[in-house]
Structure formats: structure tokens, C-alpha cells
Amino acid sequence: MDKIKIVVAGPRGKMGKEAVQLVMNTENYELVAVLDRKYEGMKLSEIEGFGNADVPIYTSAETCFETEKPDVLIDLTTPEVGKLHTKTALSYGIRPVVGTTGFSKEEMNDLEGFCREKELGCIIAPNFAVGAILMMKFSQMAAKYFEDIEIIELHHNQKLDAPSGTAYKTAEMIAQVREQKKQGHPNEHETLTGARGADYEGMRIHSVRLPGLVAHQQVMLGSDGQSLTIRHDSYNRGSFMSGVKLAVDTVVKLDTFVYGLENIIE
Ligand code: NAP
């Protein structure tokens, strides 16, 4: 079987570093290049920490895809760049696996339309950790019985987007089974802006940012006299890599757009 040729975008980032190692250590994967925002023309092995990664660094997605002709792009960058990379990959017939978070609903719809047009698979996964997917599914299941819900997501303080893609996705999944409802007292008001968190169809989402954290989320569901808390913690970025592998193995056989790993795990 031919190896799956892969480009990783954002290789020096916290997630990107892990993804580079995953690709290099997986037998049927071949890391053909990386996409960075600097070091054009250098080899990744010249960057500290990547001694054994003898692949070229590109700063232009077009040049990279044209030259290296990968099968899959793994994007772990920033929302603006990630969106561009994803679209460019699709236009070159390359299937994207996107871990980058912070895409708007419109951007997601746009990418879905583009996938349909190109008849190419694309997986956008706000969370690659299998435990986090289960946390989202369990929360959706519980939301049938508890309509008052507060989502608290906690991340390291270098995260750019808020709320997290996982919190957003959790709220979307819950909204599929929960009647829209404004929570709290009808006359409640904030004496400090933001105190009640973000509002998603009446549910509240709170974003905590602290150094030392990785990626954590708890969903608190309450009703008269009882509450249920569902919590997931990622303690390191290795927790995401089995999901990245599952997404790569799936996307190469896929001709549609998939948003969320829960759609590809049983
Ligand atoms: P990070 O450490 O800040 O890494 C982002 C990397 O992207 C940096 O190395 C950055 O380079 C690079 N970059 C910026 N512009 C670029 C460009 N034009 N081309 C190529 N690379 C570029 O962030 P992270 O923690 O690894 O997270 C990356 C993304 O994954 C974020 O959107 C985050 O929310 C998401 N994430 C997803 C999951 C999941 O399970 N799906 C889990 C964790 C994180 P500079 O530092 O030089 O700017």
C-alpha cells in the first residue's frame, strides 16, 4: 500500500510538533513537507527539536502543494491562516484534516460548499481527544433531561479564540436536543459585563484562561434539587494524536465534509 503523503501546517506550534512526530512515527505515513510562516527554503531538521525531520519548509501553501503533491494537509495554525490553507488544499485536490479552531459558522458553511463542489473529503475537528468527544456526546444525551446548562471551558493562556471550538461544538450538539431557553432569572442583569458568560440559545459558556492548563471542559446541568457535571481533561497534547490519526485514515477515503470527530467514531 502506498504511504499517505502528508504536509503539516504549523509544525513549530504545540500541536504541530506532536503531529510531526505522529506522522514521522507512523509506518504508512510520509511527511513530505511542512508549512510555516517563516524559514522558507530551510529544512525542518535545521530547526531545534526536529533533528530527524529532513523535509522542506514552505511559507506558500500554493508552492508547497504544487511541488509536493501531498494527499493530506494537517492544519494546526491559527483561524485566519487555517481557513486559507484548507481552501487552498481543496483547490489542489488535497484532503484537509483541520484541528485549528475559531472558524465562524459562515466560514464552515463556505468550506462545506467548497468540499461539495470539489467532491473531496475534509475533516474539521475542534477536538481530537476521544474523551472529549464522549464528553460532548454524554452532555447531549443528558441535555434531554436537563435544560439548564452552563459550559465551562478552561485552556492555557496562549489560546487565541474564545469560546473554544469544543465548547462551541458542545453547545451546537446540545441545541439539537434542547428547546431554546433563556436561563437564569428573567430580570437578571450584569453589574460587570461578561459575568454571565456568552449566550448560546440561552445556555451560558464561560472561558477560563490560565497558564499551566492544557484543554479542559466541564458541562454542568442542573434541575430542581440535582445537578450533573460531565468533565474532560487533556493533560498533554499527546491526548489528541490518536484522533488526528483516525482523521487522517478516514479522510483519505472520504468525499464529504465532516465537522467533528463524533461523526466518524462509533
Ligand atoms: P500554537 O502553539 O500557537 O501553534 C500555532 C502555530 O502556527 C505556531 O507555530 C505559529 O507560528 C504557526 N503559524 C502562524 N501563522 C502561520 C502560517 N501562516 N503558516 C504556518 N504556520 C503558521 O498553537 P497550538 O496550541 O499548537 O494550537 C494550534 C491550533 O490548534 C489552535 O487553533 C488551537 O485552538 C487548535 N487546537 C486544536 C486541538 C484539537 O484537538 N482540535 C487541540 C489543541 C489545539 P508562530 O508561533 O511563529 O506565529
164-200 pLDDT, tens digit each:
999 999 999 999 999 999 999 999 999 999 999 999 9
Length in residues, the chain = 266
Across 124-142, average pLDDT:
96
Q: How far apart are CA 42 and CA 213, in angstroms?
A: 33
Across 34-57, average pLDDT:
95
Q: How far is the CA of 75 from the centre of ligand 1 (A)?
A: 8
Its pTM stands at 0.91
Pick from 7, 76, 84 the residue to mutate for probing ligand 1's pocket: most ligand atoms within 8 Å of its CB: 76
Q: Residue 33 has what pLDDT? A: 98
Residue nearest to atom 31 of ligand 1 (CA): 100
Q: How far apart are CA 56 and CA 246, in angstroms?
A: 25
Residue nearest to atom 1 of ligand 1 (CA): 13
Q: How far is the CA of 17 from the centre of ligand 1 (A)?
A: 10
Q: How far is the CA of 12 from the centre of ligand 1 (A)?
A: 8
Cβ atoms within 10 Å of 72's Cβ, excluding its own:
24
Q: Residue 233 has what pLDDT? A: 98
Q: Residue 8 has what pLDDT? A: 98
Q: Residue 177 has what pLDDT? A: 97
Residue nearest to atom 8 of ligand 1 (CA): 13
* Closest-lying ligand 1 atom to the alpha carbon of residue 164: 34
Which of the four pLDDT bands, split at 50, 70 and 90, describes residue 17?
A: very high
Across 135-158, average pLDDT:
97
What cell numbers appear for 159 in the block? Answer: 489560546
Across 81-99, average pLDDT:
98
Catalytic residue among 43, 156, 159, 245: 159
Q: How far apart are CA 77 and CA 75, in angstroms?
A: 6
What cell numbers appear for 145 in the block? Answer: 433531561
| CB of 15 sitting under 6 A from ligand 1 | yes
Residue nearest to atom 4 of ligand 1 (CA): 13
Specify whether the CB–CB gap between 36 and 60 falls below 8 A: no
Per the rule left: phi > 0, alpha: psi between -120 and 50, beta: everything else, 81 is alpha
| 240-254 pLDDT, tens digit each | 999 999 999 999 999
Q: How far apart are CA 140 and CA 249, in angstroms?
A: 27
Q: Residue 52 has what pLDDT? A: 87
Q: Residue 266 has what pLDDT? A: 76
Residue nearest to atom 46 of ligand 1 (CA): 13
* Closest-lying ligand 1 atom to the alpha carbon of residue 165: 34
Q: Residue 265 has what pLDDT? A: 87
Query: Is the model's pLDDT at 1 over the cut of 80?
Result: no
| 94-112 pLDDT, tens digit each | 999 999 999 999 999 999 9
**pLDDT-above-90 percentage for the chain:** 98
Q: Closest Cα to residue 204, out of 258, 151, 262, 147?
A: 151
Catalytic residue list contains 216: no
Across 137-151, average pLDDT:
97
Q: How far is the CA of 103 from the centre of ligand 1 (A)?
A: 13
Which of the four pLDDT bands, split at 50, 70 and 90, describes residue 69?
A: very high
Catalytic residue among 155, 206, 216, 232: 155
Catalytic residue list contains 159: yes
What is the H or E stretch that residue 23 is in?
A: helix 14-25
CB within 8 Å of 196: residues ≥ 6 apart: 184, 188, 190, 204
Q: How far is the CA of 76 from the centre of ligand 1 (A)?
A: 5
What cell numbers appear for 86 in the block? Answer: 484548507
Q: What is the mean pLDDT of the chain?
A: 96
